[in-house]
Amino acid sequence: MSNTMFYFQGEPNSNSLGYGSYITSPTTQGKTTDLVALQNEVIGRLVGLARALYADEAYADTHEIMIVGLKEVVLTENSSVSKFHEIIEELKKNKLLLTPDCAMCGMCTRTHDYQMESFWNDTKETRSLKFLLLLGLQTLATFAHESMLLGKENKKINDFFYKGMFAFGEDWSFEYLLPVLKELGAMIFCGMELSQSETIKQLYSILKGETVQKQQQTFHWESPESVGIFLALLALGKEVSISKSLPPFLCEQTLMELREHFSIQIIE
């Protein structure tokens, strides 16, 4: 067992592929469904919305659909074809508000939606980094959505969603994606304050030093917010331990690169 205070592991005796399995390639054998295809389309259109905001100085209040889209992008038992269609239509409408001229032009690709085939055909190391980025953004979106419903929002967090999804769609190496992951971790820590979950509130209090940590905190990769918490701890410079059996979205090469920059122990 780890002698650090933050430990990440897979569920014991679980047959689940883990949280990362819920972002799925439409061409994966046995998983070619309308739902998976729509999931991939939503991700690509979220990148397109981010590119639209980065391309021009025009402003539109599009953060709500960005947050909702990211919150829903991981497949769960509550995912539905109709919900994804609603999100796609809202993404189209909001992107048109940002760059109306682009819909009539088509001369360049700077605001085009991202083609997820590029992601699935990339190296496993790059996919692993982008999985961390996307799953971290999904965690942050869950926190932001909770606060949005209560009328409490953080503009810096709302703005970061565009930066994060823009980075997801770019052909960036580890050295360029790493600063984005660090910033995402910092944003997730800030977002914890917005969460209505008692578990997250308690962890936030511990990390701020308001509550004394008396025992090791154990997180399971299958839990939706675990990737976000992992990134937040790394951004805060905390020492974390993970089990040798890695989740499907984290490859060994990516872990080795992360260990060069963060304090991560591997527990046999």
Structure confidence at residue 17 (pLDDT): 36
Given this model, what pLDDT does residue 86 score?
95
For residue 20, the model assigns a pLDDT of 41
| Local confidence pLDDT in tens for the 268 residues of the chain | 444 589 998 754 443 333 444 567 766 544 457 888 899 999 999 999 999 886 555 455 788 999 999 998 887 777 888 999 999 999 998 888 777 566 555 555 667 899 999 999 999 999 999 999 999 999 999 999 988 888 888 889 999 999 999 999 999 999 999 999 999 999 999 999 888 888 898 899 888 887 766 678 899 888 778 999 999 999 999 999 999 888 888 899 999 999 999 999 998 7
pTM: 0.88
pLDDT at 88: 95
CA distance 58 to 99: 7
